[in-house]
Amino acid sequence: MKGCAVPLLRVGPDVELYYEDAGSGPPVLLVAGWPLTSESWECQVGALVEAGHRVLTYDRRGFGRTTRAWDGYTPATLVDDLHGLITHLDLTDVVLVGFSSGAVETARYLATHGSDRVHGLVLASPLGGASALGRDLRAAARWHRVAMLDDVLTRFFSVNGEIALDEATRRHLLSTAAASSARATLTVIDAWSDPTLDLAADVAAAGLPTLVISGEGDAVAPSHRVDAPTVVIPSGPHGVHITHPQQWNQAVLKFLTG
């Protein structure tokens, strides 16, 4: 049985990527959505390891325990960082699981680096390119970053204006997001709001087994255009893997064993 390692991987001249590697079996790589870190997968890692999977999580550059770089927050560099992790660990037949903007990141990874090492794809509450929300967040991030993050993490976990997550957990996630680089917080919004990115086209071109999973009450990304089997969790918000982890894990494990 593989233990839980916590090394740093150098992915550029000045960037060391923090990652964790737990369990053994078919690999699953969890990609957090902006502005969250690998800690947002707490309720998934244990369940997937117990089900017989090797589970990888990481903090993208500028976030969590990865180097707070000034540059490199472009779609190309971010997916190159992901590719560096996959090749360093020599992952094959890995299932990529991306939440929110992380879903866009995993799809762009496939479009950039191909699917030779990838077995399948889980798009969790996927976002879809440029939006009015993205423009508002960029403006707020420049001058009121922590207040903006507080508002974002209220939206992530709310359904019809009511928060579906205990406040202690929401505040913990807010503290991890606020501790990330201010530069990264702002510029990653730009990266995954690029109007030239096409999540649906990237997924279709890859031709891999794909699952879309989202919350019924998602007010951040209420719709998607990906042609794939979809699970909608009743009364779930955007961050449904955190508010409804048992239902979410069950749906993903069914996909992984199917």
d(CA 114, CA 117): 8
Q: Which residues are catalytic?
A: 100, 218, 238
**Preceding omega of 26 cis (within 30 degrees of 0):** no
String of DSSP letters for 37-97: -GGGGHHHHHHHHHTT-EEEEEPPTTSTTS---SS--SHHHHHHHHHHHHHHTT--SEEEE
| Furthest CA-CA distance within the chain | 47
Q: How many CB atoms lie within 10 A of CB 200?
A: 17
